[in-house]
Amino acid sequence: MLPSLTLSLLLGAAPICGPIDLDGALTLAGRNADEVAIRRAELKAAEADQALARAARIIPSASVSLLTGPVPEAKGTILNPQTATNRTLNGLGPFVRTEVDVVQPLFTWGRLDAARDAANAGVKARELLVKDKLAELQLRVVQLWWGEATARRLLSIADDVEKNLADVDKRLSDALESGDASVKPADRYRLDMYKAQLRKRRADAAHGLALAHDGLAGTVAVMPEELQLKGAQLPLDPGEAPNLEELRAAAVEHRPDLAALDQAIAAKDAEIEAAYGSMKPQFFLAGNFTFAYAPNRSPQFNPWAYDPFNTVGGGLVLGLKQDLAFPLLWAQAAKSRAERQTLVRQREGLARLVTVQVESAVADVAQARERLSAARAAVGSGKSWFRSAGLDFEAGVAEPKELLDAYAGYVESQVEQVQAAYDLLLARARLDQAAGVPPRKGTDPCRPSP
């Protein structure tokens, strides 16, 4: 009993899949995120509208009716009736009646074509909005993923600093006990201040790690305790500088939200065309077939005699239908034109905003690249400074204060480098979204290997 309980607890605490890398997190987020699921549901609704518009072109109105029940007996003809009266229920018997009605549009002045075009544009717009939501979600995943990696790196630096400060603490204590004149009580107080700052930095990093992990778990729709990530090193290469003109042109061409507005405008154009088409005569073909049979009633073959319980007939006609509610039709067309104009203005405004977003994102990347290059240089200088101060301290020509200051500068340069690397990753991710770079297609971490 106990081993089974222990095994179940271990399995319950195990991750559902993983450990996962960044691509795996992107895949899980795209598959599980509620906001993407909502967009995909809207796409399904648009596809249903598309199917309706397609179905409206072929027999949009068709029905069959089947009736049955008891009917009084009726024998003879209209000229020679064998039944004395139709006011009796004598000779009740069953009857069956079937009616088939069909209407097929022939020429609608482009009304059905416009409905189809509007539905197709609606589907394309919804597909683009799904991509737009995936790009927005990808930025959030990148931010949280590398945020957790950054916090782990900062905690690793804090561990190294804590070990080194413990060694320095021991050396200062030994020097103070031995009466070394180069070591003063102020040096001990300075060291205690460094330890306090270290505890604060560690607490901040641990808090950031928890926030990033919980946020990423919520984004990929798993429990935080079920999410395990693969280790990742922050890239320290600044990379190439982005080309503003190329990215601005790419954004105007590839941004899914801009393209979705283009499709919305196309849909409104189709609605306007359909509104004008509805003002013209609609030509159609209509057909009807009727069969009714009652064995207790005599068939009537006189063309002026009609028995609804015992008859066979049908026909095919060419029809014309004209909607005379012209004021209403004109108002509907005017509304569609106004809505189209609103979309055009939104599209123009968004195009200007996209240009500003790309320019701002390029500037952020340039600044982040410069910061990372400067931070890398500072790490090299800080390391040399700390090594030199350590040698001077060992040789007795430097005070502990100088060694502590050099070590604090070296540690601070490492922290700045980690932060600069994270800022550059986030700036490039924002630039990708602003420029309309398609969302990355990650690998499914939960799919079994073949």
Q: What is the mean pLDDT of residues 82-108?
A: 87
pTM attached to this predicted model = 0.80
Tokens for 142, please give them. Answer: 């990148």
Q: Looking at the domain assignment, is residue 424 inside a domain?
A: yes
pLDDT of residue 445 exceeding 70, the answer is no
Confidence of residue 447 (pLDDT cuts 50, 70, 90): low
Domain assignment of residue 5, yes or no: no
φ, ψ of residue 95 in degrees (nearest 5): -140, 160
* 2 alpha-carbon distance from chain centroid: 45
Asked whether residue 189 is assigned to any structural domain, the reply reads yes
Domain that holds residue 412: 145-280+327-435
pLDDT for res 15? 44
Average pLDDT over residues 174-200: 76
Residue 152 reports pLDDT greater than 50: yes
d(CA 239, CA 361): 15
pLDDT band at 425 (very low <50, low <70, confident <90, very high): very high
Q: Please check whether residue 380 lies inside any domain of the structure.
A: yes
CATH code of the domain in which 233 resides: 1.20.1600.10
Q: Which of 445, 432, 447 is nearest to 138 (CA)?
A: 432
Single-letter amino acid code for the residue at 158? A
Q: Are residues 158 and 207 in contact, defined by beta-carbon separation less than 8 angstroms? A: no
Can you tell me the distance from the alpha carbon of 209 to that of 145, in angstroms, rounded to the nearest whole number? 10
DSSP string, 397-445: -S-HHHHHHHHHHHHHHHHHHHHHHHHHHHHHHHHHHHHTPPPP----T
Mean pLDDT in residue range 287-296:
94
The pLDDT mean for the chain works out to 87
pLDDT at position 8 over 60: no
The mean per-residue pLDDT over the stretch 175-203 comes to: 78
At 178, the amino acid letter reads S
In a domain, 33, yes or no: no
Average pLDDT over residues 441-449: 60
- Is the residue at 339 inside a domain? yes
- Decide if 425 contacts 144 (C-beta within 8 A): no
Residue 86: predicted pLDDT: 72
Beta bridge partners of 74: 297
User: What's the rounded Cα separation, in Å, for the pair 333 and 268?
Assistant: 10
426 part of a folded domain: yes
34 in a structural domain:
no
Domain count, the chain: 1
pLDDT class for 440, splitting at 50, 70, 90? Answer: confident
